[in-house]
Chain A
């Protein structure tokens, strides 16, 4: 058994490409678990970060610093009465959240967390991701239609129009990154997610810095389009609270609603993963050119462990800042245990053998986390676009810009 695991870990193929079903399932289970944890963590972080931007504390009651708030929310949602409007189209109403969630989760089969850390390496990976992630809009339209109510209908219409228009600009930006992968001796590009990152490794440059500022502009276009694609502020028109109460999921409650929530956050993580893979070097560590050599490799491989230790230290620091009162005893102990847990993960990640394997995953998740922070930051800063302005930005600004960047990239690529 141990031999088997070791032999697998030694291989340099993804389980899907190696045809190893068992490991593929293990990966799927791990990704599903990790994604759920990420969504829970994101829920807490969004509330906390937004709260601190808005001079308030955010959740503080459930668990130390509200750490258990997402758990409490999840419990509440699961225990809520499952309401299906009498006038709703039952089957479609039931199906819509499932489609949204499926689309959001299915894209993670090709997300490369490391050179071998992906469920499979599809040769059309990026196409698959774009295709499947845009299926989510089907679920949203279905949800809006099946609710048989005006606000969800308007929300669904807005959402479909928005997602379809921004996909065009998004696609163009992606193509310009794919073009860059063909800048090698053979002139062979790739659509494989792993291949794209490896191309960046071989060319020794992240595509964001390639043909500066073309790569940067392409990523900028993608970064704007992806916010619109995931219906987040300032493009959150489909669920504009002040206009449409809750948009397409107004009539949903309890578990079904939580599926939409889950899908929204997984979609955010998914599109951020695309951006990270295409432009930010995926799992590659920062500064491979400037700070090369075995010594720097060692230093950077310590980063995952050290950052968990730092998180642990933060939790420990806050443990000492907890009020000295019997009322807070359970919370203080809980926070201390959390600090110990983080520190233990940190120590584990510092161990030789482990640190080489986890650093890919760490850097990938770190870069995705930066995008997640940006999402929260946008939400705290920007007002909401109006529908016509949103369409104008999509068709009249992003689309021409995307086309221009694509053409310039092609020209520069031929000339270089």
Chain B
């Protein structure tokens, strides 16, 4: 059977296709079919010849095999320093082999490469900072994922996720109506506490266009209300687009580059339609990476920038606190040992190491903040990045991966972990569930709301 009915080289492009895939519980049939999926070696080799150019070829060639990347990889560290987890080995034995063999590789090899690409690398790019030659294995794994996706060797959830973006322009089956309805409903819920609270939809020329993670609509609707509350209290002229509101990109994790382009273009179209001064994205790491850092390139924007200035939620928050738009009641600051999870996607890969600490300086009573070690751009991945959190097939490996963050948190002695990133937040929740170390974890929005000093005129009348 060269192509399965579920596992094949075709992307999912219809709602029915998604339903059919979802009906296959845990992808049981999907992975069975994968065992007989044929490889289109000619296409694979042609793609490599067209897209694997001097940067990656040189990386693969000049790698000195020095092993300095080993200790930089959290998966190497938590897997008993297994030499097979050394980043250079992982990429040389997968992408390196495919190139050496000019695409003539077998089914078992491709399934193995899939496991390495999604369960042995979270594309956190930490190894890139430890290689004397500046070889960024994470980038190469992102590339390898694209090749594997093209050939149909992609984890079940990733295939579904990429399909969701193609069908709904969102990582989940959340329609534009669902989004607006949920947002309006949540705002109504909080209207009594915050008189005048609204969600301005499709307002042109606003100062801020806010974009979110579809999970918030489906699973964490309070997050939407919290965002509205903070903009309301800060007095921002903000809006949400009725279309193009999804910041995330599971297609990036899946290596479905065509879907990546479709997804970011929907957000950019909203920017062009509403002409906001800036876009602010929710507390999510990969979403920021996808839409703000990588997205412009997928969309073919030569300057590598989105149509309007786009910032991460923590950048807006730091600015609002700095300028006094939001005021913190000093008595309500955090007074328990607290630490911060630096997200790879916007700290290591977009330079925001100080911004998060500025926020900490406003909201934590001096003496209670403890840095993780290592931290900032050298911080380890939460353990669930790059799609790892969402792949049931590799859950066991993911749970082992969580040990690194668990031990980092334990070493701080903190009782609360601030995680302004959906992926990190999930991973930390899962590690608490798995290892029960007695911690709490939180996004910034709910913490800030609890300690806000709300101006008199915005308070509910008694």
Does B associate with A?
Answer: no
Question: B-side interface residues toward A, CB under 8 Å?
Answer: none
